[in-house]
Chains A and B, each alone.
Chain A
């Protein structure tokens, strides 16, 4: 028999702190296990980092770095921050690997559907695709045609990765960061729930993670009917109206981007999932469940 008080984990487990702030068009919540002063400092630093990413990558804010690209990069190459360059580089790698079922030039379709405001200046070329975005050797970004980048399908994942790195550096014992469904954690295993596609007001215990990232995409909360919440960049067609896809990967930026690729082409995504050490589950409205990789 073991006495509870004799368990060092119980006796020494630090306090839990949690906070949430609105960023990147969603609620970002952070939970850490740390002494109160450290928890406050660490969560403050993590939210500062997320706020910085929001300011750099906002499509809505005409003063963001992303908006500067969207209005000027087809005229002359633009210098960008290391953060934006990293997100663009992962976006283009995913676009290449998925044959464009993930494509950061999706801004044009979302503007057409009235879901994003049209940026100032030249309109996006309707034929522009991800391969019209060039990352120059000198670090600058150039568009081969006028186009509108939107990083809404991947920036939240990146922000979660950066926040987790920040919390680790600060020395908290364990943490979970969740930005509107893109989640990453380190520390002891915990259950991650996903919404039931048949009834998004309910949650299902889907997996247990320790050090890993999970992202779920689905169409059930749609602010813009009759358009779908998620759009296939190749065709403009709606995706995920009656199912959800959850991807588990080492990094949240991969998990976030991969959910869209899996929704667009589940079978075709298996090789890429395997290459990145990721796995995915599709849930449908009838309780069906399909594992990929």
Chain B
């Protein structure tokens, strides 16, 4: 082992306080596009679905189309980038889907993740009280998703969203 294990259970007193999850912003639209299409120029390709198209997509993907205005970019190498949002019971996720020219999934990047429940605002005083619990350097108390251990929500909503976008691409955007 390169390093010894280093852990420190925090005092139970600290457990009297809790922080609601707000969420994490991972990437901007430009950053996500650059990661998924590092070599390509992106061109906005605005699409508004007709009621008939939306209905056809719902039928093909077995999921609701909530938004008929699509955020789509075409890449100079023939690929496509979709910016989409899925709303679950507890969360709101903004993600980017990259398709290669043949319309198959090239990659998915999460841009933003918000948990939409909890949300209770805590007295900021508790932080100060907690920081003093341990000698040495002050603790970093930023809560974002990467620092939370414990049953996270499933990625099922994203799977459903991707299914909807693949149907959208096959039936509308990839045909144009």
Contacts and interface: CB of A to CB of B under 8 A. Distances in A.
B150 A216 contact: yes
Contacts of A30: 146
Interface of B: 1-10, 12, 14-15, 17-21, 24, 26-27, 35, 90, 95, 107-110, 113, 115, 117-120, 130, 134, 137, 139-141, 143-156, 158-159
Nearest to A221: B151
14 contacts: A18-B144, A178-B146, A192-B147, A192-B149, A199-B18, A200-B150, A203-B143, A205-B15, A206-B9, A209-B6, A212-B5, A217-B151, A221-B151, A223-B154
Interface residues of A, number: 66
Report which residue of B20, B139, B148 has the largest number of chain A beta carbons within 10 angstroms of its beta carbon.
B148
Contacts of A218: 150-151
A20 interface: yes
Nearest to B93: A27
Interface string A182-210: 11001001111111100111111111111
A170 B32 CA distance: 21
Contact of B158 (A22, A201, A212): A22
Contact of B19 (A20, A183, A193): A193
B104 to A, nearest CB: 14
Contacts of A107: none
Given A186-B3, A193-B19, A202-B20, A18 B35 contact: no
Interface string A249-293: 110000000000000000000000000010101010001010100
Contact of A20 (B113, B140, B148): B113
A64 interface: no
Given A181-B151, A191-B139, A204-B15, A18 B24 contact: yes
B110 to A, nearest CB: 4
A182 B84 CA distance: 27
A212 B151 contact: no
A203 B15 contact: no
Given A19-B109, A192-B147, A221 B154 contact: yes
Contacts of B3: 186, 210-211
A51 B150 CA distance: 21
A199 B118 contact: yes
B130 A205 contact: yes
Interface string A155-196: 000000000000010000000101011110010011111111
Contacts of B118: 199-202
Interface of A: 18-23, 25-27, 29-31, 40, 44, 168, 176, 178, 180-183, 186, 189-196, 199-212, 214-221, 223, 229, 244, 246, 248-250, 277, 279, 281, 283, 287, 289, 291
A21 B147 contact: no
Report which residue of A29, A192, A216, A220 has the largest number of chain B beta carbons within 10 angstroms of its beta carbon.
A29
Nearest to A213: B5
A201 B130 CA distance: 20
Given A178-B145, A180-B151, 20 more contacts: A19-B109, A19-B110, A20-B26, A21-B109, A25-B155, A27-B152, A176-B146, A178-B146, A181-B150, A189-B137, A191-B10, A193-B143, A200-B151, A201-B117, A202-B19, A205-B15, A207-B7, A207-B10, A209-B6, A210-B6
A27 B139 contact: no
Given A190-B140, A202-B120, A287 B15 contact: yes
Given A201-B118, A203-B19, A208 B7 contact: yes
A201 B20 contact: yes
Nearest to B136: A189
A193 B103 CA distance: 40
A54 to B, nearest CB: 11
Contact of B146 (A25, A29, A221, A250): A29
